[in-house]
Structure 1
């Protein structure tokens, strides 16, 4: 998007930063990336003055078109702009794009953005990691380094670099999946659902017995519930767009698109919810905010309903995502294969669902007690 200045134009880049564009002797030139329009305006004013007094010269190393014809002399900031645009065109999740944008603007570009791709060293990356740990948690610092590594890895894939310079010991390993989530047995799940406020009973039920992510629950509409036999179609999820606004988009991955059977234990709750709380139009949201029937319900609202229910039922405090873990563990106990679990959960990797074939500590104690009897 371009906005006119007294001289040249001010462009808003895909990552939310700005650069100036001006034309001289039949060619387009661009100013360096800046965090504000005011700074770009100052750059353009200086360039205009140099043209008027006859001292202007073509900027050394200027990239005529910022998103094309890049090589290893491009700065990290210029390569990031191109990489971000490619991810956007490829349909990457708005949440992922927003996350990358925030990390690069706040933590990476201010320190490394001016460095040419071919000049970035492993030492530069290690120094950044050490500096980040002074003001951020270890997890946040690790996420930053992994984001930088992903960007530089894309430069390797594009043939701009021979190898990825991001080699930071202790920062690259992804955190292990949580395995210590609370486990509820069938009777406890029934108590939890009974204790949940009426208009949110179905949300909790979908979380545990259909094992849906909270983002998937919030995006469901009446037309996503198929009758005879009762099934739920998952084809979208609620996310934050690049500007932070709520939006409905594709699920977390292509594997997230699925149509799953609704177990008999939750038929009554789901059908009652459709009859009492959901308008008849096919596109009506199953759960909406208090002010608008077409307004997406906040995840905080669902979490608050869950917290109140666990307290009323005398159960341990849960994250909404714990419901999914609990439900998938029960599904695994019924003899589900890894392929069954992958499909049910909407996961693309086997590793992500292997945990659900493991027994809980309580289940282990029950089975051990039966040995020899």
Structure 2
């Protein structure tokens, strides 16, 4: 028989455990999702629920029954400002590292111990600290929306100190001599790719998306307007840069312009829409097969940097630019970095300041490479079939 109380009721079941029922703010009777071993525990539960209702903090437990897989998938679809690459990243993290472990659990049942156990399993299975941190940050963001916007759960169970930190090791920085050595090792249509990526501080997607109209080799300027992204199930997609600040104009060091002019003459069609850096058959460069295509492992080993990633070229360019004494604002603009507070400020830094960075880089390059004379035609630089024109001297 249920014990009568001012708020709710408690009934002892045949099992000996206590069941709780109470009226929600809408007048409908609710049953607690769990039974209790002691009557005092059931009474504390009712006191807690009554307080939540009086403070306007009560959430119907039925709302938290949606599984994490279903809610997270809808969460991605309902984020209208996500860029294609971000959608691909989030979908991959969910598919590989989240839903196989805890995707079937209703979000209202997720607890901090469950999240902690999930994270431990990822690390024990060989998932890197960096990837695990990315998956944790995504899960935390999804559940924060469930708390703050959709009001499906009261608190976010992602409360593990340090779980969002990647603690990635410092990436290597090439010397100027090593950059030019790597460019020579790759040679041909990939020589200018190395130089432009490094000394313009470009991301992979940004340099792969460059078109002839984006380059001004007279004034030494490259316009970053778009980014090439590979999305599972869709292939290669052209989209906006990584952030609003990614749309920018970058001044190139004058020292590398002769190589760029030669590249345009040899490998790029005389069409403003022609892509600047492509594969041997004229197709898009793809991150997945780039290393094998160009013999990256052998080339970086030859210059003494066997663990070098392509993104380390941008990191090198950023580091060299920072050594020119430019202001933080001008550096952030050149690099295409964004922040919630200062995106537009960085985006509108003066082009004169950016040109000064390029001039200073030219001085550094010239000092470390000797005079760096314009490249002479090489026997292995003969135009490939379908290449746009013969070698044009600087």
Give TM-score, length-normalised by structure 1: 0.66
User: In the alignment, is residue 250 of structure 1 matched against residue 249 of structure 2?
Assistant: no
Q: Is the alpha carbon distance of 1:259 and 1:302 closer, same or farther for their aligned partners in structure 2, counting shifts above 3 Å? A: farther
Q: Is the 8 A contact 2:183 2:190 kept in 1?
A: no
Paired residue for 1:201, among 191, 195, 204? Answer: 191
Q: Is the alpha carbon distance of 1:136 and 1:190 closer, same or farther for their aligned partners in structure 2, counting shifts above 3 Å? A: closer
- The CA deviation at 1:138 is 4.4
- The CA deviation at 1:268 is 0.5
User: In the alignment, is residue 134 of structure 1 matched against residue 124 of structure 2?
Assistant: yes
Secondary structure of 2:250's counterpart equals strand
Paired residue for 2:174, among 166, 174, 183? Answer: 183
Distance 1:113 1:258 in 2: 40
Q: Is the 8 A contact 1:182 1:316 kept in 2?
A: no
Secondary structure of 2:269's counterpart equals coil
Counterpart for residue 290 of structure 2: 301
Q: Is the alpha carbon distance of 1:302 and 1:214 closer, same or farther for their aligned partners in structure 2, counting shifts above 3 Å? A: farther
Q: Is the alpha carbon distance of 1:226 and 1:316 closer, same or farther for their aligned partners in structure 2, counting shifts above 3 Å? A: same
Q: Is the 8 A contact 2:110 2:157 kept in 1?
A: yes
Counterpart for residue 78 of structure 1: 70
Distance 1:195 1:110 in 2: 43
Paired residue for 1:145, among 122, 136, 142? Answer: 136
Counterpart for residue 277 of structure 1: 267
Distance 2:128 2:267 in 1: 44
Q: Is the 8 A contact 1:197 1:309 kept in 2?
A: no
Q: Is the 8 A contact 1:75 1:116 kept in 2?
A: yes
Paired residue for 2:159, among 152, 167, 180? Answer: 167
Q: Is the alpha carbon distance of 1:166 and 1:187 closer, same or farther for their aligned partners in structure 2, counting shifts above 3 Å? A: closer
User: In the alignment, is residue 99 of structure 1 matched against residue 84 of structure 2?
Assistant: no
Q: Is the 8 A contact 1:200 1:302 kept in 2?
A: no
Task: Give 1:45-124 correspondences, 5 Å limit.
Answer: 71-87=63-79, 89-90=80-81, 92-124=82-114
Q: Is the 8 A contact 2:173 2:319 kept in 1?
A: no
Q: Is the alpha carbon distance of 1:167 and 1:234 closer, same or farther for their aligned partners in structure 2, counting shifts above 3 Å? A: same
Distance 1:167 1:266 in 2: 49
Q: Deviations over 1:179-205 (max 9, x none)?
A: 341330x34434443444121111011
Q: 277-286 or 223-232, which moves further after superposition? A: 223-232
Q: Is the alpha carbon distance of 1:319 and 1:136 closer, same or farther for their aligned partners in structure 2, counting shifts above 3 Å? A: closer
Task: Give 1:259-338 correspondences, 5 Å limit.
Answer: 259-291=249-281, 293=282, 295-299=283-287, 300-301=289-290, 304=294, 307-310=297-300, 314-317=303-306, 318-338=308-328
Instruction: Provide structure 1 residue ranges, at least 5 long, that are not aligned to the other structure.
Output: 1-69, 354-373
Secondary structure of 2:219's counterpart equals coil
- The CA deviation at 1:266 is 0.8
Name the Cα RMSD after superposition: 2.9
Secondary structure of 2:314's counterpart equals helix
**Residue correspondences, number:** 277
Give TM-score, length-normalised by structure 2: 0.63
Q: Deviations over 1:259-316 (max 9, x none)?
A: 111111111011111112100111111122223x3x202334367355554455x443
Larger Rg: 2
Q: Is the alpha carbon distance of 1:195 and 1:115 closer, same or farther for their aligned partners in structure 2, counting shifts above 3 Å? A: closer
Distance 2:148 2:132 in 1: 24
- The CA deviation at 1:329 is 1.7
- The CA deviation at 1:155 is 1.5
Q: Is the alpha carbon distance of 1:177 and 1:170 closer, same or farther for their aligned partners in structure 2, counting shifts above 3 Å? A: closer
Q: Deviations over 1:56-91 (max 9, x none)?
A: xxxxxxxxxxxxxx943433233223201112x32x
- The CA deviation at 1:157 is 3.0
Q: Is the alpha carbon distance of 1:346 and 1:108 closer, same or farther for their aligned partners in structure 2, counting shifts above 3 Å? A: same
Secondary structure of 1:269's counterpart equals helix
Q: Is the alpha carbon distance of 1:240 and 1:126 closer, same or farther for their aligned partners in structure 2, counting shifts above 3 Å? A: same
Q: Is the 8 A contact 1:95 1:242 kept in 2?
A: no
Secondary structure of 1:172's counterpart equals coil
